[in-house]
Amino acid sequence: MDSPLYIYILAMHFSPGWWGLDRDQRSSISANVDDYIARFSSDAVEVRSYRSILDNADVIYWVVATDPSLFASFKYRVFEEYKGYIFPSFSSLSIYRQSPYVSQSSESSRSDHMSIYLNMEPLRYLVAYPMKKHPEWYLLPYGERREIMGEHIKMARELSDPSVIRSYTTYSFGVSDHEFMVIYEVADLASWIDVTWKLREARARKWVVKEEPILVGEFIRRWRR
């Protein structure tokens, strides 16, 4: 059995002092951060950085590893390399695995599915947000939950194309303040808005109680081992 894929999303803000540095100083510090991440990536599966579009972050890192202990080292070293000019605004730890509402016989394992996508060229944007469902959802019979989620999954597949939108539902029960971290790679934000709007009609929406903060970033760079 393949090692599970652990997912770490780290969103950070620059301090006001960062913007008081001249451009050469900022470039020098950023280059040191990049050098560290390049070395770190030899132990990770994937590391990507994004320039945040919304004001809830300035930079977003998406890290995938088979050893979750790497994430703390990554976080603290990035803080050190930025010399106190950066601080966290959001973070999430989760794991990627097969959905309980998708038949194993009809789809390859979720880890394989994610690995395939991660080996492709990244799409332009990252959209990620934590999600939590109402406790009543888990008290519904499994068959009813599977039927409701089946509708949602079918709608999502019909509305989107992996060349434009790639989705990763990751699980964070017991290790984050939410239950899922939903991650999307998006080629075009207008298409993403259209798909999300249409999915509001799915019955599964009835049990969603949390979907924020929404992180939106534009791809800067990936590091591969």
Does residue 107 sit within a domain?
no
* Per-residue DSSP letter, 14: E
Q: Are residues 133 and 214 in the same domain?
A: yes
pTM assigned to the model? 0.93
Does residue 186 sit within a domain?
yes
Distance CA 170, CA 65 (A): 13
User: Within 13 Å and on the Cβ side, how many CA atoms surround 7?
Assistant: 26
> Which amino acid type is present at position 43?
D
Does residue 183 sit within a domain?
yes
pLDDT at 77: 97
Distance CA 114, CA 124 (A): 17
Residue 69 maps to which CATH number? 3.30.70.1030
Q: Are residues 73 and 129 in the same domain?
A: no
Last residue of a domain, one of 78, 94, 110: 94
Distance CA 222, CA 225 (A): 10
pLDDT at 115: 82
Q: Which among 185, 130, 159, 188 has a CA at the least distance from the CA of 9? A: 130
Based on the structure, what is the number of domains in the chain? Answer: 2
Domain around 188: 121-220
Distance CA 188, CA 192 (A): 6
pLDDT profile of the chain (225 residues), mean per 10: 87 97 97 97 96 98 97 97 96 92 57 78 97 97 95 89 90 96 96 94 95 97 82
Does residue 50 sit within a domain?
yes
